[in-house]
Amino acid sequence: MNSSTESISDQLAELLTQYLKQNWVKSPLSNKLITASTNMVTELQLDSFQVMEYMLEVEDHFDITVDLESLSNIHTIEDLAGVVAAAHQE
Amino acid sequence: MSLLDKFAAVKETKNALGCTGQDPTAVVFDTIDTATLGTVNGRKTILAGTNNYLGLTFDPACIAAGVEALETFGSGTTGSRMANGSYAAHIALERELADFYQCPNAGVFSTGYAANLGVLTALLGSGDVVLLDSDAHASLYDGCRMSGADVFRFKHNDVQSLEKRLKRLETRANRCLIVTEGMYSVLGDCAPLAEISELKQRFGVLLLVDEAHSLGVYGEHGRGVAEAQGVLDQVDFTVGTFSKSLGAMGGFCASRHEVLGLFRYVSRPFIFTASPSPSVIATTREALRQLRSRPELRNTLWASARRLYSSLQGLGYELGPEVSPVIAVRFRDRDTALSSWYQLLKSGVYVNLMLPPATPGGASFLRCSVSAAHTDEQISTIIEKFTELKVT
């Protein structure tokens, strides 16, 4: 992970922490530190709708749009950071 | 893991749903006596989760039309319209829908789901862009994905979120379609179509509105939310279904664009499926006539919807954001929603249970859909049973 995606991962983790708090999502990891390797589905137990809602927050934060098709390949914060970095370069 | 192993998780979920004594996905209606009354587990049950907004499923004229079509044209068409040809009634219904929407073209599909898949896959392809409301129905998601277009979502009913995405499109805007619904079926809230139409004009994109739940319910003539908000002329493609207010089965698209007439040559969900049976088309045509000639059905529907909404609100329930014939009651967790749903069923009221991930915000809801055929007494009973839920 380079410094650019590391910085993006930090922002994504913070956004996800806020999302969990604001939406009262009960998750096994919600009170722990979310890291780049955190898996949103298996570890945080977010359902597909919640992942997609969180993605809308991410899109607005970074002023990007992410194609629906890309979402199926995103499992961890690090995966997502890669997508955000690629969208920035477009 | 084998191909079949993944069903273990499905089975676990199914078993968990049945823990109260009745799996909500396996309710059987032994009899349907009227548009709003049936029998479940030997108990007479008020039907308040059927989307039968105008209550036309037992209308004598609709039934007579269906019986006559069965006797005259037989039980089915046994094939697609492309291969086997159309029946005169298919063409007549398309003409009547075009007249209803005051546009030159309308097409009929075998289901509402097929209508969305058929229109979106015909209209869109690789290199095109869709801006899709995040709470849109699964058929709209599926149609967009199947089309091969780039699909970007905007926040539900959020005009600023849509505008941001339109700006980001830049030159791609000339190949963009905005996709929304009229009334959304989980919470009963309506799209801000007037503001969305303003954006559509400003950015020069096209607009598709799915009025599945709003046909016959909104607008002076029952054409839907776009009519109610005075922007029907801004909608490029209106899609809808016959399976709700029209009490039958099937779907349609109406458009002022002549190209709609060409969709049937490229739309696989139209080409490769059997056409609607004659009796279904006949009851739909009669129901559409009634929708147009009996505005009192809408008035009755709305009076009951307002009464039920205000009563449930008065009981302290957290409801969807606006009064509509879909009244969604939010519960704090899945288990409470499930047990409340079962208690209502046991006391003779059937509503829909809506659980994550099929719901906005990961919340659990009991969804009531009001019908023009509900009597005042039935609405009173529904209120009474929700009152009893509060004290148990």
Whether residue B358 sits in one domain with residue B256: no
pLDDT digit string (tens) for B84-113?
Answer: 999 999 999 999 999 999 999 999 999 999
Total domain count, chain B: 2
Cβ distance B115 to B138 under 8 Å? no
Which residues in chain B have Cβ-Cβ distances shorter than 8 Å to A69? 145, 150-151
The rounded percent of chain A whose pLDDT value lies above 90 is: 27
Structural domain contains residue B249? yes
Select from B293, B321, B346 the last residue of a domain: B293
- DSSP letter for B53, please: T
DSSP labels, B141-186? HHHHHHHT-EEEEE-TT-HHHHHHHHHHHGGGGGGEEEEEESB-TT
Whether residue B34 sits in one domain with residue B158: no
Structure tokens at B61: 């004229």
B221 is catalytic: no
Whole-number Å distance between alpha carbons of A3 and A1: 7
Task: Look at residue B41 in the predicted model and tell me its pLDDT.
Answer: 94
Whether residue B272 sits in one domain with residue B314: no
Strand B129-133 relative to strand B150-154, pairing: parallel
Interface contact B164, partner A, CB < 8 A: yes
Mean pLDDT of all residues belonging to chain B: 95
- How many alpha carbons lie under 13 Å from residue A88 in its C-beta half-sphere? 13
At residue A44 the predicted structure's pLDDT band, cuts being 50, 70 and 90, is confident
pLDDT digit string (tens) for B152-178?
Answer: 999 999 999 999 999 999 889 899 999
pLDDT digit string (tens) for B330-353?
Answer: 998 889 999 999 999 999 999 999
Whether residue B279 sits in one domain with residue B317: no
The reply to whether residue B150 touches residue A67, judged by beta carbons under 8 angstroms, is yes
Locate the domains of chain A by residue range: 3-89
Task: Look at residue B294 in the predicted model and tell me its pLDDT.
Answer: 98
Q: What are phi and psi of A2, to 5 degrees?
A: -85, 175
Structural domain contains residue B8? no
Which residues does residue B20 pair with via DSSP β-bridges, in sequence order? none
Structural domain contains residue B54? no
Structural domain contains residue B289? yes
At residue B28 the predicted structure's pLDDT band, cuts being 50, 70 and 90, is very high
Nearest to A49 among B144, B145, B356 (CB): B356
Which of A75-89, B297-311, B344-358 has the largest mean confidence? B297-311
Structural domain contains residue B3? no
Closest-CA residue of chain A to B148: A69
Nearest to B165 among A25, A50, A65 (CB): A65
The domain of B308 spans 14-47+295-391
Q: Is the peptide bond before B24 cis (omega within 30 degrees of 0)?
A: no
Which residues does residue B178 pair with via DSSP β-bridges, in sequence order? B131, B207
pLDDT (average), residues A70-79: 88
Task: Look at residue B171 in the predicted model and tell me its pLDDT.
Answer: 87
Cβ distance B119 to B267 under 8 Å? yes
Whether residue B276 sits in one domain with residue B353: no
Whether residue B305 sits in one domain with residue B343: yes
Please report, for residues B31, B55, B345, B349, B381, the alpha-carbon distance to residue B45 in angstroms, rounded to integers and kept in the order given: 10, 16, 8, 5, 11
Give the residue, B22 or B39, on which the prediction is more confident. B39
Q: What are phi and psi of B130, to 5 degrees?
A: -120, 135
Structural domain contains residue B386? yes
Interface contact B153, partner A, CB < 8 A: yes
Structural domain contains residue B6? no
Which residues in chain B have Cβ-Cβ distances shorter than 8 Å to A67? 150-152
Whether residue B287 sits in one domain with residue B349: no
Interface contact A25, partner B, CB < 8 A: yes
Select from B293, B325, B346 the last residue of a domain: B293
Task: Look at residue A25 in the predicted model and tell me its pLDDT.
Answer: 64
- How many alpha carbons lie under 13 Å from residue B344 in its C-beta half-sphere? 29
Instruction: List alpha helices for chain B, DSSP H.
Output: 7-17, 60-73, 81-84, 88-100, 112-123, 138-147, 159-169, 193-203, 225-228, 268-271, 278-293, 295-314, 334-346, 376-391
pLDDT digit string (tens) for A19-31?
Answer: 887 776 666 655 5
Whether residue B348 sits in one domain with residue B265: no
Interface contact A66, partner B, CB < 8 A: yes
A3-89 classified as CATH 3.40.50.2020: no
Whether residue B306 sits in one domain with residue B251: no
Interface contact B60, partner A, CB < 8 A: no
Whether residue B253 sits in one domain with residue B321: no
Structure tokens at B296: 């009192």
User: Which of A2-6, B20-24, B104-108, B140-144 comes out lowest in average pLDDT?
Assistant: A2-6
Whether residue B103 sits in one domain with residue B43: no
CA angle B76, B77, B78 (to 5 degrees): 95
pLDDT (average), residues B309-337: 95
User: Which of B14-23, B105-114, B222-231, B342-351 comes out lowest in average pLDDT?
Assistant: B14-23
Select from B259, B293, B327 the last residue of a domain: B293
